[in-house]
Chains A and B, each alone.
Chain A
Amino acid sequence: MADFLLELLGEEIPARMQKGARAELERLLRRELDAAGVGADTITVWSTPRRLALIARGLPLETEAVREEAKGPPVGAPDQAVDGFCRKNGVTRDQLEERQVKGRATYFAVIERPGQAVSDLLAAAIPAIIRDFSWPKSMRWGEASISTESLKWVRPLTGIVALLDGELVPVVMEGIASGRETMGHRFHSSGPVTIRDADDYANALEAAHVIVDHEKREGLIRDGARRAAQAAGLTLVEDEGLVVENAGLTEWPVPLLGRFDEEFLEVPPEVIQLTARVNQKYFVCTRAPAKAGASGDGAQPKEVPAFAGTHTLANAFICTANIVASDPAVVVDGNRKVLAARLADARFFWELDQKTSLEEHAKKLERITFHEKLGTVADKVERVAKLARWLCEEGIVGPERVPAKAGTSIDEAQDAGRSQPSLGLTREELADLAEQAARLCKADLVTEMVGEFPELQGLMGGYYAEKEGLPQEVSDAIRDHYKPVGQGDEVPTAPVTVAVSLADKLDSLFAFFAISERPSGSKDPFALRRSALSALRLIVENNLRFSFIESMMFGIPPIGGSIARAISKTQVTEIESFFASEAIRLTDAELTFPKGSLDWEGNEFLADLKASVLASPQLLADFMTDRLKVQQREAGVRHDLIDAVFALGGEDDLVRLLARVKALQSFIETDNGANLLAGYKRAANILKKEGYDTPLPVGEGSGVGGAAPARSNTHPQPLPLREGASDDPLEQTGEEDPLALAGKPDFDDALRAAQSPPGTGLSYTPEPSEKALIDALDAAEPKAAAAIEAEDFEGAMAALASLREPIDRFFDNVIVNAPEADKRNARLALLARFRNAVHRVADFSRIEG
């Protein structure tokens, strides 16, 4: 068994790319080893700014000899075929063997591959690894770059060390010959460092002031920074991202603590931290002592740790030098000066920004284009303000904090919500605050500070609002209205913040859908998926009850006005006032755009606008339910249960949709649920076999939502039994299969009769089990309907559970495929009725198991 060392030495690799490069190096070496059928016991990969290193242990010195046989053409086949076979396998004709295959003489090529020295294999593998290496960005350099075919690497590659059990693996790559010599630290080491073997590598480099193991350097930085803070009586603000970045910038890291002028502390701590971190890669410290266990290695600190209450920022920074400086104070002082200049800039911005009120800043938003078809950020702010106000006035966002608890029903959540302290605001007061906050929420985008640090958007607005003495709810809302940003980010619960945040996200969604800028595939230039996810979390976690489509009916008309202003050269006022009027009902497919002076069909712009605006509500509602599906799937909810509920469609109250999924999830895990599912599947199979492929859509109050008037009222058309049945080109006689009649008027009558309660229309006396099922359905259907109406989905499930025994007995005792046509039709219709009853709760055909 042998150990292999590979080092690729070069000029400084960007810190952010080193992790990926380590993985890439390992992947490519494994690829080469796998192709040769060679295994390694362990592979270790290290990186420093100047090198990538890999040690593979437990390699064989030789690959195993392989004997392969290939079957060729039969003896007597045309020469062409035989010669081709020989060429392919690298043998001559006289080397072919003849064997009998099914009584036929056939040529065989026997290929003996002797064991190959692993050293040779590696010598061939290394150039392949280097050539195939994928960097986020790579470049050419030097004399060889006179051709664009020259080697590409992240920065110039200068040396290769390749040793197998201490023996050189000879490689020449673009004039770089492998050797056993590498370079030590740029400044602490002079001349080449000779490496004996893989075991010697890390030690030899450490003697030359290079710690090649990045994790070891990370540890040194983490511990060194903590110790430096402690020694100064401070606590390090942990920042694992900075630890890794500094480890990627140093071969011999030395954390050093310095102080900056106290007077800079008047600048918000986040600004100081960001200045230090982003521009200079420095850690910062707080004055508070470390909490017990807070400095453990396990927890990953947040990207930018929050400054909670008692932890006040200290006027200290910790930089990580790459040398053991002869006088560390010189290095620290140099760094201090740079930081001081940066903080002076930050303080200048901080003071300058406050000379102008947020309201004044907000006026400049008129100059910033939000999107060429949607006008300026000022237009957007205006819409967000209206929508935020509407959300409050409609009571969708109420003055109480209403956090939904995971796994509880809506009722419970509402009860929990009622026990929360109210802000003591009326709807109108809340609406005023939300509108005020919304009007100011983007104002900080034009401040100097956010211009310098875009990641401080929101936060700075919050600070400036506080400094102006605006109501706390308003400054909180300005600060937090971008939240939740990512999956792990906390969801706002303060009502004013919720209203502004939700309005902001909904407006973006409405607006981009209205101009047909929808995400597709990997393209999502306006981050609408993220906006959708944030909106969903706000809605679900705050238990906000509303019809999504209705909110669009309110939110989209102002967008039409913005579009008109942004891109139409003519008739702006008319278009605007049209959209501004309350007449528009976007869900109505028959919507007539009033003629007036506008030519909605003849004018290309107007026709496009009309088409995209009309299409957007349904597209967006579908998009949102789709995102909810994704979100629920990621949260671990069984995808088939999600599908079962979502398949019903027609629901745009997302909270209710989710409650139904949850109820179904708990129901299906009970015995009743499992058995009902079994009965359902049996019924569905029979129906399917008999040609009822399309489940019957449910009648009144169809879809998941019992109360979706805007939609159900627009679908008064008769329920088709089988889609496209009347267009079926094959006329059926009705003799071969009774259910082939499905879709024919007389069968439909029978079916409707079976569906119409209670058990009327039967031309024969039903058998007891048949009658029992009819009775059970008669009882369960209104119960389930009432429960659904009351959004008591557990109750609806319980009502369905009462069908479990009757359906089982029906199958045990009743012959569906009775010889008499009327019985057959009636019983199939009964099964269809059963299936439809179940479908009121969920599409059980989607449930697995």
Chain B
Amino acid sequence: MNASVSDDANPAALSSGAAGRDPRSSFQDMILTLHDFWSANGCVILQPYDMRMGAGTFHTATTLRALGPEPWNAAFVQPCRRPTDGRYGENPNRLQHYYQYQVILKPSPADIQDLYLSSLRAIGIDPLKHDIRFVEDDWESPTLGAWGLGWEVWCDGMEVTQFTYFQQMGGFDCKPVAGELTYGLERLAMYIQGVDNVYDLDFNGQGVSYGNVFLENEKQMSKWNFEVADTDGLFDLFNKAEAECRNALNGGVPIAAYEQAIEASHVFNLLQARGVISVQERASYMGRVRDLARSSCEAYAQKMAPDWEAKFPGWSL
């Protein structure tokens, strides 16, 4: 890490361009404050991956960059799509589309917990007013051939962040280990702003609510996910993504193959939401997605290995 922030850092001092920014007053200020914070702490601030995916972990800046010996520090917002979580805009806590704030720090810095707690302070959570706890929660993604140990971080009993030390990715040991922080942005904002309904969140501090931005999307997308989406077309998409993934692997472009694996994974989630995959078929589809994702990660690692080994003598995959 280039800089480390002391425990009582004043968030306003983190960025000279943040004058008047109040993470407690709007969703976007909270995000911008996190950007300021992690930028000041040496992270590359990325934009979201431009594909539909179920979690920020799928972003190549997390999965693929967790492989290999090179240091890598990045932060970004990733929209997440979980078709089965859609509630037609009627549930105050559940959305089929929401945001994660993702931080990846490789190797995991010695003061990573303190950094994280400072980031909470930066967005207005005072740990002497709120009960912050690190509660065991290990992470495993058979799809990615990945696992890690860590916690879910509780704020007054609410899970606000997933904190994971990646141990394996794509079936390879992480050398070195990366620390991954995944903040649930809507939850945190609801907490900080003191609202009980996600649609009541103040988005910009100037009268635009989360509902103004997303309520209609949730209604329409829930309907599409559950009722409208053409299932034959989706099955077709799945097969095409699978075929293209293989094609890309054969072509020696594993990043492109990985994108197709992400695509297949999301199409599978849509098929699930449409309820057209039986219990028996489910395992088989999941196995197919897993094959694609793993093969892509493996191919990526294999392709990069000579470079990595050259730059880091003594290191091997």
Point out residues on A near B: beta carbons under 8 Å. Answer: 11-12, 14-16, 49, 137-148, 154-156, 158, 186-188, 190, 249-250, 280, 282, 319, 321-323, 325-327, 330-331, 333-335, 337-339, 341, 367-369
Known: A145-B177, A146-B175. A331 touches B156 (CB 8 A): yes
Residue among A16, A139, A188 with max Cβ neighbours from chain B (10 Å): A139
> Looking across the interface, which residue of chain B has its beta carbon closest to that of A11?
B113
In the assembled complex, the CB of B150 is this many whole angstroms from the nearest CB of chain A, namely 8
CA distance A330 to B134 in the complex (A): 19
Residue among B107, B127, B157, B279 with max Cβ neighbours from chain A (10 Å): B157
Whether B133 pairs with A145 at a CB distance below 8 angstroms is no
Known: A139-B177, A325-B128. A334 touches B156 (CB 8 A): yes
In the assembled complex, the CB of A567 is this many whole angstroms from the nearest CB of chain B, namely 13
Known: A15-B136, A142-B108. A369 touches B129 (CB 8 A): no
Interface CB pairs A-B, < 8 A, 29: A12-B135, A12-B151, A16-B136, A49-B134, A137-B149, A139-B165, A139-B167, A140-B165, A140-B177, A142-B108, A142-B109, A142-B110, A145-B174, A146-B69, A146-B312, A147-B175, A156-B108, A156-B110, A186-B117, A325-B130, A330-B129, A330-B156, A333-B156, A334-B131, A335-B131, A335-B156, A338-B158, A367-B278, A367-B279
Whether A141 pairs with B165 at a CB distance below 8 angstroms is yes
Total count of chain B residues near the partner, CB < 8 A: 43
Known: A139-B149, A146-B175, A148-B173. A14 touches B136 (CB 8 A): yes
In the assembled complex, the CB of A803 is this many whole angstroms from the nearest CB of chain B, namely 65
CA distance A156 to B151 in the complex (A): 12
Which residues from A are CB-within-8-Å of B158? 334-335, 337-338
Whether B196 pairs with A143 at a CB distance below 8 angstroms is no
Whether A326 pairs with B128 at a CB distance below 8 angstroms is yes
Known: A15-B136, A331-B156, A337-B158. A148 touches B175 (CB 8 A): yes
Whether B107 pairs with A186 at a CB distance below 8 angstroms is no
A326 is contacted by which of B69, B108, B129, B150 (Cβ under 8 Å)?
B129
4 closest A-B pairs by CB: A334-B156, A14-B136, A12-B134, A335-B157
Answer yes or no: B60 CB below 8 A from chain A CBs.
Answer: no
CA distance A155 to B173 in the complex (A): 17
Answer yes or no: B280 CB below 8 A from chain A CBs.
Answer: yes
* B96-155, CB < 8 A from A: 107-110, 113, 117, 127-136, 138, 148-151, 155
Whether B127 pairs with A186 at a CB distance below 8 angstroms is yes
Which residues from B are CB-within-8-Å of A11? 113, 134
> Looking across the interface, which residue of chain A has its beta carbon closest to that of B151?
A12
CA distance A325 to B175 in the complex (A): 40
CA distance A345 to B315 in the complex (A): 49
Q: Mark B267-300, 1 if CB is under 8 A from A, else 0.
A: 0000000000011100000000000000000000
Answer yes or no: B176 CB below 8 A from chain A CBs.
Answer: yes
Which residues from B are CB-within-8-Å of A141? 107-108, 165, 177, 179
Whether A145 pairs with B107 at a CB distance below 8 angstroms is yes
Which residues from B are CB-within-8-Å of A325? 128-131
Whether B177 pairs with A142 at a CB distance below 8 angstroms is yes
CA distance A146 to B109 in the complex (A): 13
How many cross-chain pairs have Cβ atoms below 8 Å apart between A and B? Answer: 120
Whether B151 pairs with A341 at a CB distance below 8 angstroms is no
CA distance A177 to B123 in the complex (A): 35
> Looking across the interface, which residue of chain A has its beta carbon closest to that of B153?
A12
Whether B315 pairs with A155 at a CB distance below 8 angstroms is no
B127 is contacted by which of A146, A323, A335 (Cβ under 8 Å)?
A323
B110 is contacted by which of A158, A250, A282 (Cβ under 8 Å)?
A158
Whether B130 pairs with A368 at a CB distance below 8 angstroms is no
In the assembled complex, the CB of B168 is this many whole angstroms from the nearest CB of chain A, namely 10
In the assembled complex, the CB of B191 is this many whole angstroms from the nearest CB of chain A, namely 7
Residue among A16, A145, A187 with max Cβ neighbours from chain B (10 Å): A145
CA distance A188 to B132 in the complex (A): 12
Whether A249 pairs with B108 at a CB distance below 8 angstroms is no
Whether B127 pairs with A341 at a CB distance below 8 angstroms is no
Whether A331 pairs with B131 at a CB distance below 8 angstroms is yes
CA distance A326 to B130 in the complex (A): 9
B176 is contacted by which of A143, A154, A156, A338 (Cβ under 8 Å)?
A143
In the assembled complex, the CB of B286 is this many whole angstroms from the nearest CB of chain A, namely 15
Residue among B130, B131, B158, B191 with max Cβ neighbours from chain A (10 Å): B131
> Looking across the interface, which residue of chain A has its beta carbon closest to that of B110?
A142
Which residues from A are CB-within-8-Å of B155? 334
In the assembled complex, the CB of B213 is this many whole angstroms from the nearest CB of chain A, namely 22
Which residues from B are CB-within-8-Å of A322? 131-133
CA distance A148 to B110 in the complex (A): 18
Whether A145 pairs with B138 at a CB distance below 8 angstroms is no
In the assembled complex, the CB of A319 is this many whole angstroms from the nearest CB of chain B, namely 6
Which residues from B are CB-within-8-Å of A323? 127-128, 131
CA distance A337 to B133 in the complex (A): 17
CA distance A15 to B129 in the complex (A): 23
Answer yes or no: B216 CB below 8 A from chain A CBs.
Answer: no
CA distance A341 to B312 in the complex (A): 50
Which residues from B are CB-within-8-Å of A282? 157
Whether A319 pairs with B127 at a CB distance below 8 angstroms is no
A338 is contacted by which of B69, B109, B157 (Cβ under 8 Å)?
B157
Whether A341 pairs with B93 at a CB distance below 8 angstroms is yes
> Looking across the interface, which residue of chain A has its beta carbon closest to that of B177?
A145
In the assembled complex, the CB of B183 is this many whole angstroms from the nearest CB of chain A, namely 17
> Looking across the interface, which residue of chain B has its beta carbon closest to that of A138?
B149
Which residues from B are CB-within-8-Å of A158? 110
* B170-214, CB < 8 A from A: 173-177, 179, 191, 196
Which residues from B are CB-within-8-Å of A326? 128-129
A337 is contacted by which of B107, B113, B138, B196 (Cβ under 8 Å)?
B196
CA distance A190 to B157 in the complex (A): 24
B130 is contacted by which of A137, A145, A334, A367 (Cβ under 8 Å)?
A334
Answer yes or no: B7 CB below 8 A from chain A CBs.
Answer: yes
In the assembled complex, the CB of A157 is this many whole angstroms from the nearest CB of chain B, namely 11
Whether A187 pairs with B132 at a CB distance below 8 angstroms is yes
Which residues from B are CB-within-8-Å of A156? 108, 110, 165
CA distance A274 to B267 in the complex (A): 35
CA distance A139 to B167 in the complex (A): 7
In the assembled complex, the CB of B169 is this many whole angstroms from the nearest CB of chain A, namely 13
In the assembled complex, the CB of B92 is this many whole angstroms from the nearest CB of chain A, namely 8
Which residues from A are CB-within-8-Å of B165? 139-141, 155-156
In the assembled complex, the CB of A11 is this many whole angstroms from the nearest CB of chain B, namely 6
Known: A137-B138, A322-B131, A337-B196. A369 touches B176 (CB 8 A): no
> Looking across the interface, which residue of chain A has its beta carbon closest to that of B7?
A190
In the assembled complex, the CB of B181 is this many whole angstroms from the nearest CB of chain A, namely 14
Whether A140 pairs with B167 at a CB distance below 8 angstroms is yes
Which residues from B are CB-within-8-Å of A250? 133
Which residues from B are CB-within-8-Å of A139? 148-149, 165, 167, 177
Residue among B69, B128, B177 with max Cβ neighbours from chain A (10 Å): B177
Known: A139-B149, A334-B191. A280 touches B175 (CB 8 A): no
In the assembled complex, the CB of A226 is this many whole angstroms from the nearest CB of chain B, namely 21
CA distance A692 to B167 in the complex (A): 66
> Looking across the interface, which residue of chain A has its beta carbon closest to that of B148?
A139
Which residues from A are CB-within-8-Å of B109? 142
In the complex, given contacts A138-B149, A141-B177, A325-B128, what are 15 additional A-B residue pairs having Cβ atoms less than 8 angstroms apart?
A12-B151, A140-B165, A142-B107, A142-B177, A143-B107, A144-B176, A154-B149, A190-B7, A280-B157, A323-B127, A323-B128, A326-B129, A335-B158, A338-B156, A338-B157
* B4-63, CB < 8 A from A: 7
CA distance A322 to B128 in the complex (A): 10
Which residues from A are CB-within-8-Å of B280? 369
Which residues from B are CB-within-8-Å of A341? 93
Which residues from B are CB-within-8-Å of A369? 279-280
Whether A188 pairs with B128 at a CB distance below 8 angstroms is yes
Residue among B128, B138, B151 with max Cβ neighbours from chain A (10 Å): B128
Residue among B132, B136, B148, B196 with max Cβ neighbours from chain A (10 Å): B136
CA distance A155 to B315 in the complex (A): 24
Which residues from A are CB-within-8-Å of B167? 139-140
Whether B134 pairs with A187 at a CB distance below 8 angstroms is no
